[in-house]
Amino acid sequence: MAQPNCVNPCMKLIAIALVAAVGCGKSESKPAPAPNAEPAPAAKAVPAPATPPAPVAEIDPCSLVSAAEVGAAVGKAVVAKKDGPHQCSYGLDPADQQKAMEDFTKGGLANMTKGGGIKMPSAIANQLALTLEIAPATQSEDEIKQIYTGVGSAVAKLDPKAHGLDDAIVNGQELKDLGDWAFTTNVAAVNMGNGISTRGRLLEAKHGAWQLTLSATIAPDPGAAKLDDELVAIAKPALAKLK
C-alpha cells in the first residue's frame, strides 16, 4: 500500500524559494565600457592596497544549540548532524522512525482503522527537518525581505491552493528583543486531514557580524504562532553565544 507523503508539498515550495533566493542574490553583470579613442593619460603611481580585514572565525552551529534544546522547544526527540562549516541539521531519530513504521506495517490495515477511524502512523504524521545556519552577515533586513517578497509573488501566480497548500510565502512576524533584528516568513502549510498536516517556516536574524537563518518543516502543523515561539526558543540561545 502506497504511503502518503505529507512533506512533499512544502518541499516543493521550499525548493522554489531556494532557487529564487539564489537567483536574486546574484549581481547582474555589467556591460564592458566602450573603448576610449583618446590617448590614455600618463600612468600614475598606485598606492599599495590596504590590509584586508581579518577573516571572521568559523562558528559551529551544532555547538550553539544542542539536540536536547531543539527537542525541548518542539516537543520531539531530536538528533543533530553537522552539515558543513556553517550549518547544523536537526531531525527525528531515524531509528525511532524506522521502528514506528515497522510496528505499523506489522498490524497492516487494522492499525489504520482502530476506533472506527483512520489513523496515520507516527512515522508519517510526525516529521521534523530543521536547519540552523550561522554565517557572516552580508545582507540587510530589507534586502532579505525583498527576496522573500519576490519569491512570494512568483509562488502566488502558481495558485498554491490548487496544489493543496493552505498558504505559502507570506510575511510572518517581526520578532523584538532577538538580535539586532529578526523576523519570520511562512514557506508553506498544508492540511490533508487524517492527522496529516505540515508547515514550513523560516526565521532570519542578525546579531553583530553574524546572520542566523533557521528553517523548519514540521508535522503535525503546530500553527504559525506556536511555531514562531518554538523557533525563537531555538534561536535565542544560539544568538546569545555569538559575539
> What is the rounded distance in angstroms from the CA atom of residue 92 to the CA atom of residue 123?
10
Percent of the chain with pLDDT over 70: 64
Cα-to-chain-centroid distance, residue 22: 14
**21, pLDDT greater than 70:** no
Q: What's the mean pLDDT in 141-156?
A: 85
* Model confidence pTM above 0.75: no
User: Using 50, 70 and 90 to split pLDDT, how confident is the model at 191?
Assistant: confident
Where do the structural domains in the chain lie, given as residue ranges?
A: 58-109+117-240
What CA–CA distances, in Å, run from 133 to 71, 143, 167, 189? Answer: 17, 18, 25, 22
> What is the rounded distance in angstroms from the CA atom of residue 21 to the CA atom of residue 29?
17
> What is the rounded distance in angstroms from the CA atom of residue 73 to the CA atom of residue 87?
19
Residue 69: predicted pLDDT: 95
Q: What's the mean pLDDT in 199-212?
A: 94
User: Using 50, 70 and 90 to split pLDDT, how confident is the model at 33?
Assistant: very low
> What is the rounded distance in angstroms from the CA atom of residue 148 to the CA atom of residue 142?
10
The CATH architecture of the domain made up of 58-109+117-240 is: Sandwich (2.60)
Most confident option among 37-46, 67-76, 77-86, 188-197? 67-76
More confident residue, 113 or 217: 217
User: Taking the alpha carbons of 4, 167, 152, 214 in that order, is the dihedral positive or negative?
Assistant: negative
Contact 207, 123 (CB under 8 A): no
> What is the rounded distance in angstroms from the CA atom of residue 152 to the CA atom of residue 159?
11
